[in-house]
Structure 1
Amino acid sequence: MGQPQMSGGTEVSRPPLRIGMVGHAFMGAAHSQGWRTVGRVFDLPLRPVLAAVCGRDGAAVRAAADRHGWASALTDWHELVTRDDIDLVDICTPGDSHAEIALAALAAGKHVLCEKPLANTVEEATAMAEAAETARTRGQLAMVGFNYRRLPALALARHMIAEGRLSTLRHVRVTYLQDWLTDPKSPLTWRLRKEHAGSGSLGDLGAHIIDLAQHLTGEKLTGVSALTETFVHERPLPAPPTNSLTPHPAARTAAVTVDDATLFTGRLTSGALASFETTRYATGRKNALHIELNGEHGSLVFDLERLNELSYYDATEPAIHAGFRRILVTEPDHPYLDAWWPPGHGLGYEHSFIHQARDLTHAIAQHRTPDPSFADGLQVQRVLAAVEESARKNSLYTPIAD
């Protein structure tokens, strides 16, 4: 179960992997942490180099470069993807720019890491997956960033399921609950506009739990039935910067054009039933991702707020002492943990990005298609599209009489 480290030689002798990142906000900071730290923890075959970061605001991107350790700052991503001193382009922008940047980077001969969801539409994601497959024949690799796969507890869960600990799978239920939009006066952001985000809680949170359900089970969703809801249809526009000369009427608002919450059910290829819920209106829930899998011979439960633990029920044990037991996932032979702290010293959210950087670096050095690939990202995009289509068809429902 341990992740064997590959000896890469000294810091000087290892070839560099020169990274250019587009976007420097929340995800940019998380990816920066991953790239900056990975070579200090894992023995890598390549040496990650933070070559350049790109953003639209010159002052902001320069400050981000200084804060996170990037060697240079740019304001034009076209320049970044064509630079000779960039080997890999890391895309941390809103979804409406993923396809354009990724296609240009692949055409320029770069490896690509793209944040989830892969794109805003199936058409864009298809073009990206096809370009990635063509680029692979030239030695370029592309990966989509589903970072939760890299949490040691979830990596252990996948291993346990694959070795048959649950036997025949019957149910998968997943929820991902946040509350950062519960105040109707919170300003409009790009995440609330379909032209930028593609969808709301569905793409933002649903992409993660769709990927996890399929990744953990090793199965695909074959169909879905969905409902979506938008609770607040108008929100105030964000105030301009304090140094702006542009007036900003306090009453000015704009439409929210994405879902606030989504509920859907589905069936996996084995016939197992699956249910999913995403919302950014679950008052009191900050980042509550919960997944439970029930099989003939056992169950597994993971809670992101207890991310170093799994709950496991072994139905093959005698009922007299059977019950859910806590697995503390901090042993050196658990996934990724041979490089970290002594048992009992837990990891956190940011470590998933360090592990993501580790796995991609090894894939590039071994000329191996990384996991999850752009093809995997496309498959998730197809599920997202099916959920939206189902929700549109289910907009009229049958009331239940008294």
Structure 2
Amino acid sequence: MDDNAKDPTPDGRPALGIGMVGYAFMGAAHSQGWRTAARVFDLPLRPAMNAICGRDADAVRAAADRLGWAAAETDWRALIARDDVDLVDICTPGDSHAEIALAALEAGKHVLCEKPLANSAAEAEAMTAAAESARARGRFTMVGFNYRRTPAMTLARRFIAEGRIGTLRQLRATYLQDWLVDPLAPMTWRLRKDSAGSGALGDLGAHIVDLAQYLAGELLTGVSAVTETFVRQRPLPSGGGTGEVTVDDAALFTGRFASGALASFEASRVAAGRKNSLRIEVNGDRGSLAFDLERLNELSFHDHTEPAEAAGFRRILVTEPDHPYLEGWWPPGHGLGYEHTFVHQARDLVHAIAAGTDPAPSFADGLRVQRVLAAVEESAAKNCAYTPIVD
């Protein structure tokens, strides 16, 4: 049991005080997870949404009221210093992840950090070292790769680990969006390298790299990549001229796993007609698995050992009570959505903290993804040269 947990809540469970930094898109998603997890699952600790932090006092107070937080802060250092905050949830742009996480760990807090872990491999290494030191003091860390917690994706990992598709041969993954197709789409922090680290590569590519290594159960050892920025100047939101885009719009790369299996990846924010299209397929010598986020309650499975006359991909509706995470939700056939992945994330993190076990994905997992992203950037800078990844 976490020795930082506070006095029992009215239902008798010890409270785990949550403090969150950031209240935009990811802040809203994480808030949904913290609000809902203990209402759906039988948790050993009850998350207490004690404080949220943002720079604009009026905006963060409004966000606290809307999202269900008890208090608002305008300085993340003040949030970390609060006695009623046991866990710091970081939902800010990547340029602040390292500073906030390192300070929170030094203060003896657990940390949940949105992906990608940092803006560089060097920052991620420092964060991972701090996490390992904090682990020895009973403090835990997790990276927010929420797509691992789609029930169909978790089921796919189970099938692969059980040998249902045999020896891994190939994996292909794409993550496509179209919100930057219009050259007049305005500048945001996501289009500046100093705040975002990279573009489609870090924003979308980080997800599919993590999923690839999670499903395969092994690491990528090298990549060969190309990236492109199609629109290099975009209008400033203020209307006063344009700003330079310093990150990629799209990234394509191939890779090889430690076993020798091959992988291919595509991440784009300029794929017209694609809103949030994540697809992944894994091929082995005994079968294949495929997942499409736009059909997120389904997993496609092909058993290649069956007679050819009846073999083929079949649809598994992942809504049964014995499927991952489904024990807390609705009767079979009643699907879940994107927001539920954040509920599952909160569930798993609370269970790990209460049990004193390492949450997954860890900061070390986040560092391994960061090293792949760095190798992709290096390969692209060297005109697609094969770049090894040193773990």
Q: Give me the TM-score of the superposition, normalised by structure 2.
A: 0.96
Tell me the CA shift for residue 11 of structure 1: 4.6
Alignment partner of 1:371 is 2:370: no
- Tell me what 2:97 maps to: 98
Contact 2:116–2:366, Cα closer than 8 Å, also in 1: yes
Pair 11,272 (structure 1): closer, same or farther in 2 beyond 3 Å? farther
Q: Does residue 212 in structure 1 map to residue 207 in structure 2?
A: no
In structure 2, distance between residues paired with 1:280 and 1:337: 32
Which whole-Å CA distance do the structure 1 matches of 2:202 and 2:10 have between them?
Answer: 39
Distance 1:119 1:10, change over 3 A: closer
Confirm or deny that 1:328 pairs with 2:328: no
- Which letter does structure 2 place at the counterpart of 1:328? L
Determine the structure 1 residue equivalent to 2:374: 385
Measured after TM superposition, the shift of residue 395 of structure 1 is: 6.5
For residues 25-174 of structure 1, what are the structure 2 equivalents within 5 Å? 25-174=24-173
Letter of the 1:83 partner, please give it: R
Q: Which runs of 5+ in 1 are unaligned?
A: 1-8, 240-247, 397-402
For residues 77-108 of structure 1, what are the alpha-carbon distances to aligned partners after superposition, in whole Å with 9 as ceiling and x for unaligned? 01001111100000000000000000000000
1:226 alignment partner AA: A
2:9 and 2:46 in contact (8 A); partners too: no
C-alpha offsets along residues 8-56 of structure 1, whole Å, 9 cap, x if unaligned?
A: x985311100000000000000000000000100000001000000001
Separation in 1, partners of 2:52, 2:218: 37
Q: Please list every run of 5 or more consecutive structure 2 residues that lacks an aligned counterpart in the other structure.
A: 1-7, 386-391
Structure 2 SS opposite 1:335: coil
SS at match of 1:213: helix
| Cα deviation digits, residues 260-286 of structure 1 (max 9, x gap) | 000000001111000000000000000
* Matched-pair identity in %: 74
Q: Do 2:226 and 2:380's aligned partners in 1 also have CA atoms closer than 8 Å?
A: yes
Report if aligned partners of 1:300, 1:311 keep a CA contact under 8 Å in 2. Answer: yes
- Whole-angstrom distance in 2 between the partners of 1:326 and 1:293: 15
- RMSD over aligned Cα atoms: 1.1
Q: Which runs of 4+ in 1 moved over 2 A?
A: 9-12
Match of 2:236 in 1: 237
Post-superposition Cα deviations, 1:224-247, rounded to whole Å, max 9, x if no partner, equal 0000000000000002xxxxxxxx
CA contact (8 A) 1:115 1:144 kept: yes
Among residues 249, 260, 264, which one is paired with 2:249 in the alignment? 260
Partner of 2:349: 360
Whether the 8 Å CA contact 2:224–2:384 is kept in 1: the answer is no
CA distance in 1, matches of 2:53, 2:9: 30
- The alignment partner of 1:377 has SS state of helix
Partner of 1:182: 181
The answer on whether the counterparts of 1:11 and 1:47 sit within 8 Å (CA) in structure 2 is: no
Relative distance call for 1:395 and 1:321 in structure 2 (3 A) is closer
